A and B are shown apart, each in its own frame.
Chain A
Amino acid sequence: EDKVVQSPLSLVVHEGDTVTLNCSYEVTNFRSLLWYKQEKKAPTFLFMLTSSGIEKKSGRLSSILDKKELFSILNITATQTGDSAVYLCAVEVRGAQKLVFGQGTRLTINP
């Protein structure tokens, strides 16, 4: 069974800290890994990763994929209260036309 596991499930830090969120996966036929941010309603797309070792970066957020060890990390530097959200990791299974999601990491940034 295809599986995506995120850790930690919950994280509370102070504004300005740097955080690292983890996502590991076991799927039959990996195609890509995606990160989403979910604040109050719909998840919004952050990154899609397909190749190992190539960092994707957007402002203070960055992500990298390790296809040998089957995991990805999402880094957020100089965190702000607006970064508080649930961060979801999902893996696309080749040929399956669907994404398998992890449980999410609830990140809380305190001022």
Chain B
Amino acid sequence: SQTIHQWPATLVQPVGSPLSLECTVEGTSNPNLYWYRQAAGRGLQLLFYSVGIGQISSEVPQNLSASRPQDRQFILSSKKLLLSDSGFYLCAWSGQAGNTIYFGEGSWLTVV
């Protein structure tokens, strides 16, 4: 069966510091991969999605970037965090047909 792992689960980072959140999927090949952010009391905002290695689509202009160095690995990064980057970040995957997506456990980021 397919599983998705995301880490770290929580982190507190100072403003201006770098960020790296990592996500890996097991039990499937060539998945679509996604990074979502959920601010407190709000729905999920799609940040990036990828349909293949090295292929990244950005949905909103922001301080973050994403990379997909391997088929089942998706990384969310920032060179310098802002206070507004605080939130709950969710990695997700779907099959190539899209539709149902499955989420990782999420990462709570607090920028102080």
Q: Which residues on A are within 8 Å of B, measured CB to CB?
A: 4, 6, 31-32, 34, 41-45, 48, 88, 90, 92, 96-104
Closest A residue by C-beta to B94: A97
Residues of chain B lying within 8 A (CB to CB) of residue A100: 46
**A99 lies within 8 A of B105 (CB):** no
What are the interface flags for B80-112 relative to A under an 8 Å C-beta threshold, 1 for contact and 0 otherwise? 000000000010001000111111111000000
**B100 lies within 8 A of A34 (CB):** yes
A101's contact among B43, B94, B104, by CB below 8 Å, is which?
Answer: B43
**B99 lies within 8 A of A42 (CB):** no
Residues of chain A lying within 8 A (CB to CB) of residue B99: 31-32, 34, 48, 92
Q: In whole angstroms, what is the CA distance A52 to B32 when docked?
A: 27
The verdict on B49 contacting chain A, using a C-beta distance below 8 Å, is yes
**Given A48-B99, A103-B43: A98 and B34 interface contact (C-beta under 8 Å):** yes
The verdict on B75 contacting chain A, using a C-beta distance below 8 Å, is no
**A42 lies within 8 A of B103 (CB):** yes
Closest B residue by C-beta to A6: B43
User: How distant is B33 from chain A, measured CB to nearest CB, in Å?
Assistant: 10
Residues of chain A lying within 8 A (CB to CB) of residue B49: 97-98
The verdict on B44 contacting chain A, using a C-beta distance below 8 Å, is yes
The verdict on B51 contacting chain A, using a C-beta distance below 8 Å, is yes
**B106 lies within 8 A of A41 (CB):** yes
User: How distant is A99 from chain B, measured CB to nearest CB, in Å?
Assistant: 6
User: How distant is B99 from chain A, measured CB to nearest CB, in Å?
Assistant: 5
Q: In whole angstroms, what is the CA distance A65 to B65 when docked?
A: 36
**A88 lies within 8 A of B44 (CB):** yes
Closest A residue by C-beta to B97: A97
User: How distant is B4 from chain A, measured CB to nearest CB, in Å?
Assistant: 9
